[in-house]
Amino acid sequence: MFDLVMFDLDGTLVQTAPEIADAVNDLLREQGLPEVGEDLISTWIGHGTRELMTQAYAFSAQIAVDTVRRAGTMDKLMPRFTVFYEQRCGTRSRLYPCVLESLRALRQAQVRMAVVTNKEQRFTTTVLMAHQIRHFFDMVIAGDTLAAKKPDPLPVRYCLDALKVPAARALFVGDSQIDVDTARAAGVPIWAVPYGYNLGHPIAQARPDRIIPTIAAVAEAVAAGAPHACTA
């Protein structure tokens, strides 16, 4: 059914908000600013950690996002965020239900897999290694791997080209409007999970081709009756 499945990372494979919030608050505290709650921080996940930190800083310092951008505040602060997030990566993130079972079933069915995330490469690698799932993926495209990131279709087109899979034989699985826009722009079907971080909105608003309760639905579609597919 599909020769290649491309997965989003944050909010689709891994619940990363708890430790991202820890790192954001490590930095805000160091700056003498008030902390921000995890629920609000999770609505800023999607465009990479620099954008997320820009939003969090503006909110906490009660200044306009544009002002933070214009002042170049993140040029100064992102090296510190990197230190904090590196320490936090893998401490409080969790694989979502059925992820491990489904990746195993897909590999058994010889489906190729990729990660296409807007998270920066260094953190992406750390998160994948921390959860021991790096080896499932033929390709990992992070937010700073190529000249453009999601919702630009470039990362998806790059995967299709590199793995020599036509768009119609591929599937994108994500958690956000960004993923829907990316997949559509690349002509790839898009299924979405409802439990992730869709910029604070219900996933139905993004109108994916299908909303699936967990990624076990992907394994079931590809490898009907896969013995290890999770039924939770």
Ligand X SMILES: O=C(O)COP(=O)(O)O
Which option in Mg ion, ligand X, none does residue 193 bind, with CB closer than 5 to 8 A by kind? none
Identify the burial level of 79 via C-beta atoms within 10 angstroms of its C-beta, where 0-12 means exposed, 13-18 middle and 19 or more buried: exposed
The site map against ligand X for 8-47 (x = CB under 6 A) is xxxx---------------------------------xxx
DSSP for residue 212: -
175 is a site residue for Mg ion (CB under 5 A): yes
Question: What's the min distance (Å) between Cβ of 10 and ligand X?
Answer: 4
| All residues at 6 or more sequence positions from 83 whose CB lies less than 8 Å from its CB, including other chains | none
* Count of residues in contact with ligand X, rule CB under 6 A: 13
8 is a site residue for Mg ion (CB under 5 A): yes
Identify the burial level of 85 via C-beta atoms within 10 angstroms of its C-beta, where 0-12 means exposed, 13-18 middle and 19 or more buried: buried
DSSP for residue 35: -
119 is a site residue for ligand X (CB under 6 A): yes
48 is a site residue for ligand X (CB under 6 A): yes
What letter represents residue 46's amino acid? Answer: G
Give the residue numbers marked as catalytic: 8
Distance CA 14, CA 196 (A): 9
For 30, 43, 153, 173, 185, the CA distances from 181, given in Å and listed in that order, are: 36, 18, 8, 12, 6
Question: What's the min distance (Å) between Cβ of 111 and ligand X?
Answer: 20
Question: What's the min distance (Å) between Cβ of 77 and Mg ion?
Answer: 23
220 is a site residue for ligand X (CB under 6 A): no
HEC profile of 84-139: HHHHHCCCCCEECCCHHHHHHHHHHCCCEEEEECCCCHHHHHHHHHHCCCHHHCCE
Question: What's the min distance (Å) between Cβ of 225 and ligand X?
Answer: 30
26 is a site residue for Mg ion (CB under 5 A): no
Query: Would you say 25 or 118 has its CB closer to ligand X?
Result: 118
49 is a site residue for ligand X (CB under 6 A): yes
**175 among the known binding-site residues?**
yes
Which option in ligand X, Mg ion, none does residue 49 bind, with CB closer than 5 to 8 A by kind? ligand X
**181 among the known binding-site residues?**
no
**179 among the known binding-site residues?**
no
Query: Would you say 109 or 195 has its CB closer to ligand X?
Result: 195
- Annotate 13-26 with b (16+ C-beta within 10 A) or e (fewer): bbbbbebbbbbbbb
How would you classify the pairing of strands 170-174 and 139-141?
Answer: unpaired
Residue stretches of the annotated binding site for Mg(2+): 8, 10, 175
The contact set with ligand X (CB under 6 A) reads 8-11, 45-49, 52, 117-119
Note the residues at the interface with Mg ion (CB under 5 A).
8, 10-11, 175
